[in-house]
Amino acid sequence: MNQKLVDSLITIIQSLSEEERKMFEQKLFFDDNGINTQDVMNLAEKSNSFNFLDDEPDIYTIDDGEAI
């Protein structure tokens, strides 16, 4: 791994204005087919695809598992 390059990129990204950073993030997280993660999340939230989970029993509680 090129640590020097990674550090340089981080420094550059941190120096961007808010507008430039938003533009960078949009380009970074926008994939080739024109669909980005936020679009998929919005679709899942607004569709009825996961409504079946409303009828599922709550089998887990806050006390299940181990703290991380």
pLDDT at 8: 95
Neighbouring-strand partners of residue 30: 36
Q: pLDDT tens, 16-68?
A: 999 999 888 888 877 566 777 788 888 888 998 888 988 988 888 888 888 77
Quick check: pTM over 0.85?
no
60 token code pair? 């887990």
Distance CA 67, CA 60 (A): 14
Asked if 38 and 31 touch (Cβ cutoff 8 Å), the reply is: no
Domain positions in the chain: 9-49
pLDDT at 5: 93
Residue 3 binned pLDDT confidence (cut-offs 50, 70, 90): very high
